[in-house]
Amino acid sequence: MKRTVRPAAFGLLFGLLAGTAAQATYKVVGPDGRITYTDRPPAQAGQVQAVGTPGRATPPGPEATLPFELRQVMTRYPVVLYTSADCQPCDAGRTLLRQRGIPHTEYSIGTAADAEALRKQAGSSEVPQLAIGAQRIKGYSSSEWNSYLDAAGYPKQSRLPAHYRFAEAQPLAPPTPAAAPAPAPDGPAAATAPSPAAPLPPAGNAPPGFRF
């Protein structure tokens, strides 16, 4: 039986997980590139950066310019949007995320390879789809999307800086490399085979039609 996680229960789960990082003062980059925040410096200090420490450079990238609370939520529950061209619900979903100021990654499902990749991930190639952490919402509903974003802890009003720019949609499946043309032969072209020589005329008093 398929069980659906309700936004209320989803919000309780978000609250329990996010509460432990409310006082985070250290940014930790794991071996897989995942960023977490903690109030205790880990043993390996090489991958740790104190947040807000005077004299420390701000890490590069658009994430560094976002409010700390928003970066926390993004780290725990990243938002991914799956869309396609000429899809009005997809456009409405994208507009909702941008107006609310939700940083997200968008994938465009435009080829059979994209659709197959999405089917393998989510069990369905239906668009739009919204992923908030491990939670997936198929189809667009402004009330449902807002409920899950609220439960995750995203702000109701945009807190993005004025210069923030959303990234363009990318294909979900990597493009297939074009086949390389066959190399030309190194040597000269093969000579045309000579045509068979015409039979010699009969010599002497050979009867007509005689052949050697």
- Please provide the average confidence, as pLDDT, over all residues in the chain: 76
Q: How far apart are alpha carbons 149 and 106 in whole angstroms?
A: 16
Q: If DSSP codes are grouped into helix, strand and coil, which group holds residue 149?
A: helix
**Token representation of residue 179:** 């086949």
Residue 64 has what pLDDT? 72
Give the strands of the sheet with 26-29, arranged side by side.
35-38, 26-29, 48-50
Taking phi first (over 0 means left), then psi (-120 to 50 degrees means alpha), and beta for anything else, what does residue 33 get? left
**Cα 194 versus chain centre, distance:** 60
Question: What share of the chain in percent tops pLDDT 90?
Answer: 51
Total residue length of the chain: 212
Residue 151 has what pLDDT? 97
Per-residue pLDDT tens for 123-147?
Answer: 999 999 999 999 999 999 999 999 9
Q: Which domains does the chain have, with CATH numbers?
A: 7-171 (3.40.30.10)
Q: Do residues 35 and 75 lie in contact, with contact meaning Cβ atoms separated by under 8 Å?
A: yes
Mean pLDDT score, 190-200: 57
Q: 38 or 94, which is more confident?
A: 94
Q: How far apart are alpha carbons 151 and 14 in whole angstroms?
A: 7
Q: 123 or 21, which is more confident?
A: 123
Residue 44 has what pLDDT? 55
Q: How far apart are alpha carbons 77 and 70 in whole angstroms?
A: 10
Element (H, E) at 132: strand 129-132
Mean pLDDT score, 153-173: 95
Taking phi first (over 0 means left), then psi (-120 to 50 degrees means alpha), and beta for anything else, what does residue 139 get? left
Mean pLDDT score, 51-73: 65
Residue 160 has what pLDDT? 96
Cα angle value 176/181/185 (rounded, 5°):
155
Q: How far apart are alpha carbons 89 and 142 in whole angstroms?
A: 10
Mean pLDDT score, 187-195: 55
Whether pLDDT at 60 is above 50: no
Q: How far apart are alpha carbons 85 and 138 in whole angstroms?
A: 17
Q: If DSSP codes are grouped into helix, strand and coil, which group holds residue 26?
A: strand
